[in-house]
Amino acid sequence: MNKIMIKAAFIVLWATGISWASGCTEISHKKQEIPKDDPLSIVLERLNKTTLGLKSYQSQIEHKYLQPLLESESIRKGVFYYTRSGGKSALKINFNTLKQDDEKEQKNIEQYIVLDGARLPLPGRELNGIWLAHLDYQIKEAKYYQLAEPNDPNKSADVFDLAGKKLPMLGFSKIEDLKKQFDVNLVESQKAESEKFIQVHLKVKPNSIYKDDYISIDFWIDKKLGLPAKIIAVKSEPEHPYGDIEEIKFLKPKVNKSIDKKVFELKIPKGFGEPEVFPLERKK
């Protein structure tokens, strides 16, 4: 997953009616008529209220990456964890298996974790700010990517907001931030799907910080939980007309249930080299 997963959409991110085999990157969107009470605002306000009240979240996660130009598809499965307490938050994904195209599903361990730098192991060096750590057990490699400086106002932001720069988790982000970066619309879904989910379409604005990464992102809100259950992101690919597609599903979620703190402890396994460190590029 490496560069694809780091630069791409995690998710945040699944739709019926999308033909993966055809290599089509366009999702058919049919805007709902907005009556006087503005259902879009109601949906977003409810989503915002639910995410603000989120203290912990755990689910199975399925990540699909489709490359239409290469007619290639990979599916990774694992477990997703999130916790927030005392003004601090942490996020972790443990991917355990990989299925590439028509090959059999195989054991393939990768971990992604977003933490304060002080909690990342790096002998002889102290890391400050918020960092995304990526551990690849196949090649025994660890990399740290800085998401926020220690004196950056964003340091106090939730990890969902920070991870959204590297992973498509935007359905969990603050609603006001979504509106700054995207044109947001409700999408009319098929009857069976609309009974359980509400689909929201995000079109990247020309001046958005995501303009070089995505063309659009769709997420489906589980009506019962009030949280995203699926996300589809269409990547921006200047070198060819068919953007890659990234899909994330959150399955069997557990909301505001206790999660052992040890889940978020990061240890570099034996046999791994020293982690590569990628600080934020400083503005001139």
Instruction: Quick: pLDDT tens for 230-271.
Output: 999 888 876 666 688 999 999 999 999 999 989 998 889 999
Per-residue confidence band for 75, with pLDDT thresholds at 50, 70 and 90 = very high
Per-residue confidence band for 117, with pLDDT thresholds at 50, 70 and 90 = confident
Q: Is the pLDDT of residue 97 over 60?
A: yes
Query: Which amino acid is it at 279?
Result: P
52 vs 14 pLDDT, higher one? 52
Question: What are the structural domains, with CATH classification, of the chain?
Answer: 9-15+31-276 (2.50.20.10)
Q: Say which residue the tokens 């999660």 belong to.
A: 259
- Extended strands (E) in the chain: 56-67, 72-85, 88-100, 106-116, 130-136, 141-148, 182-187, 197-204, 214-222, 227-235, 245-255, 276-278
Q: Say which residue the tokens 């359980």 belong to.
A: 196
pLDDT in tens, 172-229: 555 666 778 889 888 887 777 778 999 999 899 999 888 888 888 898 999 998 888 9
Query: How far is 217 from 184, CA to CA, in rounded Å?
Result: 10
- What was the pLDDT predicted at 153? 54
Per-residue confidence band for 282, with pLDDT thresholds at 50, 70 and 90 = low
- What was the pLDDT predicted at 143? 94
How confident is the model over 68-77, as a mean pLDDT? Answer: 91
How confident is the model over 18-42, as a mean pLDDT? Answer: 45
* Segment 222-225 long-range contacts (CB within 8 Å, at least 24 positions apart): 222/196, 222/197, 222/253, 223/195, 223/196, 223/197, 223/198, 224/196, 225/50, 225/253, 225/255
How confident is the model over 10-21, as a mean pLDDT? Answer: 26
- What was the pLDDT predicted at 159? 53
